[in-house]
Amino acid sequence: MQELILFQKRLVFFYKNWNNKFRYPIYIHTFGKIIDDNLKKHINKNIDKNIYFIEINPKIPKNIDEKDLYYNRTYHDYVKRAFTKKRLGFLHMCHFLTNINSYGNIGCIGKELKKYDSLMFFDDDIYFKKKIDYDLFKYLEKYPAVTGFTSKLKRNHNAFAVTENLWDFFKSYIIKNNISPKDKNIKESLSDKDDKIINKLDWSCGSFDIYDIKKLESKNWSEYLNEINSYGGVYKFRWNNGYTINLFLRTHFDEPLYNLNFLEKGVIDTKIEGSDEFIYHGYKNYYNSKIFRFFLDLKKN
C-alpha cells in the first residue's frame, strides 16, 4: 500500500513538473496486476485520462537454464550479499528495459506502443523535483538517445559482478559484423585482452532514458538485440540496459547520447522519501512491507 501511495505521488510530480504542458500519453507497465481498477479510475480522473495500464507476465526465457541465472553466481560477493533468488524480478526488469522494441513479447513492452517512433522509459523510483518547461523529446532531432544522468563504474569487484563477460560479448559482436566503432575508446579497446573499457565510459543511467527507435533500427538494433537475448547476458550476468544499449549507441553514432545531467542539477531524485530499496516481484504484499522486511533483516544479522 505504501508503494502505491508513493507511486501516485511520483506520477503527480511527473505531470506537475513536466507532462501537464505536453500531455504525452503514459503507458504504465506492471508485472502482473498490482494496480486495482478503482485506483486506475482514480488516476485517470484526477491526473490524466491518457494514462494506460498494461499488465505483463514475465518468464525466464526457454534458452536459459535455471542453474545459470544470476542469483546462482555466488562466487560474486555482491550476489551472496544482495542478490538472492527473490530478486528474479530485477532480472525481468532488466530484460524489459533492454528489449525496447520487442512489442508484445513475453515480459516486454506492450504492442500498443509500436505506433510511436520514439519512447521514454521512466523508472517509477524517480521523481521530478523541479519544473521543466521544454520538450525533452526535442533532443532526439540531433541524438538517437537521451539520458537523465550518467555515471562511471569504479574498477572493483562489484563493477565486475554486474558486467561479467559483457566486453567479450560486445567485442565479438563488433568483429563478427565487421563494424568500425565510432567511439575512439571502443575502437582502441578491440585489441585489449581485458575489459578496462568498462571503466572508461560514461554510462547512461538506464532508469530515465529516451530513444529514437527509428534511428536505432537503422543501425540493425533488432539484430543486436537478438544476439543479447540468445546469449542470455541479462539473466545470466545481470547486464542492464544502461550498459548494453550504451555500447550500441557509442559504436554506431558520432553523437550517441545527450546527457540531461538532471541528477547533478537537482531536477530529479532517484528515490522519493519513504520508498524501499527494492520490491520482491512475485511475493505477497506483507513480505514487501517495511515492518516484515525489518524483521527479516534482523534475522539475517
pLDDT digits (tens, 9 = 90+) for 223-267: 999 999 999 999 999 999 999 999 999 999 999 999 999 999 999
Mean pLDDT of the chain: 90
Q: What is the pLDDT of residues 51-91, one digit of tens each?
A: 999 999 999 999 999 999 999 999 999 999 999 999 999 99
Return the pLDDT at 6.
82
Q: Which CATH number is 58-275 given?
A: 3.90.550.10
**Per-residue confidence band for 282, with pLDDT thresholds at 50, 70 and 90:** low
For residue 281, is pLDDT > 90? no
**Per-residue confidence band for 280, with pLDDT thresholds at 50, 70 and 90:** very low
Q: What is d(CA 53, CA 59) in angstroms, rounded to the nearest whole number?
A: 19
Q: What is d(CA 290, CA 49) in angstroms, rounded to the nearest whole number?
A: 32
Average pLDDT over residues 126-154: 95
**Per-residue confidence band for 195, with pLDDT thresholds at 50, 70 and 90:** confident
**Per-residue confidence band for 294, with pLDDT thresholds at 50, 70 and 90:** very low
pTM: predicted TM-score of the whole model, two decimal places: 0.89
Q: What is d(CA 87, CA 71) in angstroms, rounded to the nearest whole number?
A: 8
Return the pLDDT at 158.
87
Return the pLDDT at 192.
86
Q: What is the pLDDT of residues 128-138, one digit of tens each?
A: 999 999 999 99
**Per-residue confidence band for 295, with pLDDT thresholds at 50, 70 and 90:** very low
